[in-house]
Amino acid sequence: MKRENSLDLMRVIAACSIVFFHSAGNLNTKFALGTDMSGAEMVTVLGLTFIAKAAVVLFLLVSGAFTLSSSALSDVRGHYRKTWKKLGIPTLIFSLVYLAQTFAVWMEGIREGIDRFLYEPKEIASELLKMLLKGETASHLWYLYLLIALYLMAPFLRKLLDMIGDHQLLLSVILILWGWVSHMTADHYLTWDLGYAAENTGIFMLGYVLHEKEKKSDAIRGAGHVFLFALILLFIHAAGFILFRSNAVLSVIFVPDTLSGLTALESGLIFVGFMRLRISHDFGMPSSLTYGVYLIHPLVGSLVAAVWAGIMGISYFSVGDTVGTVFLYGAIICILSFIAVWLWKRLRRHSGRKREA
């Protein structure tokens, strides 16, 4: 896969956005529970939410762009072996790791007498089993389960895209709209339901379609107006959510979610904008760490929170629950996660050289 500096930069920014969003977990919980919040807290939660949801879709777009354009898809068995090694094994291992972490957090919540953690032992076992089966032992792992499914489908999606030719963009948009309508009209959905599958497949394909169109274009196009359109749309999206939160019909249109058609459009514009940037600096190294950062950052966050709570003499569940601390907390998690993955990769390379010697 040929590296592209602008998309490598986009990956790094997207990864940091997701880390900061998850570092605001206690603020997000306050918002979800309807706790009174200051204006600054509300702006922080909503800002991080909208940016992080777009960031997840950006990862899906760039994964589709490079996976579906790979010549390795012609070797289906080889592609599946690589998928199992790259995604399957780490997802399985970290599902179990985060299951243990979730159990430890619940025990701490019970010890502190926090209402939302007061389960009976049988209920705890049942909830943990459901989380494992749904791929939700941590708030971020759902994406890896989704990515595994898309990678398994990739050889067939590429054949479909080649077959329909000029209608690739149309099919991608239809699938995204199908999923958006499904999400807006269903009170509940499973992560493997048809609308969910349609939308994420459409976004995955859209990344490939947009990337191929930009590669084939000879025209020099600016990125500024594309980013401006994306920013305006983000503001409209956020304003609509704030204004219509209590409206049963309109609120589902403006909800910040990876399944929102508005989020898909915003992310698509940002993706195109980054592809049009001409960046000479090489961001390949930090970009290569983003997958590992995505995997481990909640674990790093829990360790940082435990140390922070111990030093400050506060509850584990109070760490990063103010605007003044959440960005510092997020920055620490982000930096430590990148360092940890970099050290792990260095260690693996070093051990590999020793075996060869």
The token pair at 96 is 């179990």
Indicate whether 241 belongs to any domain: yes
Using CA atoms, how far apart are residues 104 and 148, in angstroms rounded to an integer?
27
Instruction: Dump the DSSP string for 35-65.
Output: ----HHHHHHHHHHHHHHHHHHHHHHHHHHH
Tell me the pLDDT tens digit for each residue of 51-77: 999 999 999 999 999 999 998 898 999
- Who has greater pLDDT, 116 or 273? 273
Q: Are 143 and 151 in contact (CB under 8 A)?
A: no
Measured at the CA of 157, the angle between CA 88 and CA 131, to 5 degrees, comes to 35
Indicate whether 1 belongs to any domain: no
Dihedral sign from CA coordinates of 313, 318, 322, 328: positive
Query: What pLDDT is recorded for position 349?
Result: 82
Burial 296-313 (b: 16+ CB within 10 A, else e): bbbbbbbebbeebbeeee
Indicate whether 2 belongs to any domain: no
Using CA atoms, how far apart are residues 230 and 98, in angstroms rounded to an integer?
35
Using CA atoms, how far apart are residues 314 and 310, in angstroms rounded to an integer?
7
Overall average pLDDT of the 266-282 stretch? 93
Query: What pLDDT is recorded for position 1?
Result: 53
Query: What pLDDT is recorded for position 9?
Result: 94
Query: What pLDDT is recorded for position 5?
Result: 92
The total of structural domains in the chain comes to: 1
Tell me the pLDDT tens digit for each residue of 319-337: 888 888 899 999 999 999 9
Report the percent of the chain where pLDDT is more than 70: 92
Overall average pLDDT of the 184-210 stretch? 79
Torsion over CA of 241, 246, 249 and 252, rounded to 10 degrees? 40
Indicate whether 172 belongs to any domain: yes
Least confident window among 17-21, 29-33, 186-190, 281-285? 186-190
- The position carrying tokens 């479909």 is 160
Using CA atoms, how far apart are residues 96 and 80, in angstroms rounded to an integer?
22
Indicate whether 174 belongs to any domain: yes
Indicate whether 320 belongs to any domain: yes
Query: What's the domain range around 174?
Result: 8-356
The token pair at 112 is 């502190």
pLDDT for 123 beyond 80:
no
Query: What pLDDT is recorded for position 183?
Result: 78
Question: If pLDDT is split at 50, 70 and 90, which confidence band does 355 have?
Answer: low
pTM, two decimals, is 0.88
H-assigned helices in 277-322: 284-288, 290-312
Mean pLDDT of the residues in the chain: 86
- Give CA separation, 68 vs 99, 142, 203, 222, in Å: 32, 21, 12, 26
**What residues have CB less than 8 Å from 66, skipping those under 6 apart?**
1, 211
Q: What is the SS3 assignment for 6-19?
A: HHHHHHHHHHHHHH
Indicate whether 18 belongs to any domain: yes
Query: What pLDDT is recorded for position 120?
Result: 66
Indicate whether 20 belongs to any domain: yes
Instruction: Give the amino acid at 269.
Output: L
The token pair at 77 is 């068995």
**Collapsed DSSP state (helix, strand, coil) of residue 189:** coil
